Structure 1
Amino acid sequence: MVQSQLTQDLPSGDELPFSDGLPVDNELHILVPNLLSFILGFLWSERLDWFFGINMGIYYATGVNPRVPIVSDAFLSFGVERLKASGLRNSYVVWEEKGIVPSFVLEVVSKTPGGEYDEKMVKYAQLGALYYLIYNPTFWQRDRREPFEVYRLIEGEYQRQLGEPFWMPELGLGIGRGVGTHQGLQREWLYWYDEQGNRLESPEDRATRLQEILERYRQQFGDLPQ
């Protein structure tokens, strides 16, 4: 009854701003999450029980003010509707998602420090996100950190985890860095991995593999029949 009353007193998603209104200052903030999203969309095309948000406000009632969101570069939730009955989400409102908080959140560090190692870490702990990844490929020396840091929420506090790719059993996914091509750019990206440490195929990976198969076929049998 108390929980029901609390939910009734909270604003609806339609009443809340869609984001914090702050622009990203690094293209990686868009490209890195998009690649992770594309891989999941390809891998879980038949599943409807997950949601991957990018640069989207997360509203939660366990922080200081439920009307002030925390905006992550990306997050992943399970047990929620892939698509809302009313259409696409403008924001992620925990009390309208059966109380389900994201299991995984990602922050890509930018030129302007955004509190990834302190303020946001506290907020994500209040939110209750199980895993928190800070990806800092460009400014890690400035910040005196590592380029890839994974944290797990243990008794209300984040503790640094070791290993890469890092396997997250509750998610059925691992995550780590790898060199590949995305939108024509060959560089280091974040990829999902399986439990054996094999990188999960991206749409570009699949296209390249199929092209190689086609080329081997042509070399052996000639051009495909018209």
Structure 2
Amino acid sequence: YMRIPYYVVFDRYENQLHLFQLIAIQYQPVELSEAKFWIPKLELGLGVWQGKYQETEGLWLRWYDGAGNWIETSAERAKRLAEKLRTLGINPDDL
């Protein structure tokens, strides 16, 4: 048995996040006060985020940190770092 402690379902038709926690040998539903939850052992949270991902606007599952900040996607990080290089006078397209 893998005994995965949490099971998450995002219903894209109803835009609802459902969380189940393994208790003994059964998954029990966990009542969420908002569309996100913290996973202590991972020191990460998972929540529903509204925005554009891969050129598609919508609601997406996304990780967040202990301060509640969404963790950057690789594209967001690349864009942020390219902007920083430009402020330093370096054209990232020339690298």
Answer yes or no: same fold by TM over 0.5. Answer: yes
Residue equivalent to 2:62: 191
Q: Is the 8 A contact 1:174 1:195 kept in 2?
A: yes
Larger Rg: 1
Q: Which has the higher helix share?
A: 1
Q: Is the 8 A contact 2:17 2:36 kept in 1?
A: no
Runs of 4+ more than 6 Å apart: none
- Cα distance per residue 1:80-137 (max 9 Å; x no partner): xxxxxxxxxxxxxxxxxxxxx2xxxxxxxxxxxxxxxxxxxxxxxxxx3210101112
1:171 aligns with 2:42: yes
Residue equivalent to 2:90: 224
Instruction: List alignment gaps of at least 5 residues for structure 2.
Output: none
Match of 1:201 among 58, 62, 72: 72
Which amino acid in structure 2 is aligned with residue 172 of structure 1? E
Label 1:160 to 1:196 Cα distance change in 2 as closer, same or farther (>3 A): farther
Query: SS of the counterpart of 2:90?
Result: coil
Q: Is the 8 A contact 1:165 1:193 kept in 2?
A: no
- Superposition map of 1:1-226 within 5 A: 101=2, 128-138=3-13, 140=14, 147-161=16-30, 162=32, 163-214=34-85, 217=87, 224=90
Aligned length: 90
Instruction: List alignment gaps of at least 5 residues for structure 1.
Output: 1-61, 63-100, 102-127, 141-145
Q: Which has the higher strand share?
A: 2
Q: 1:164 offset after TM fit, Å?
A: 3.7
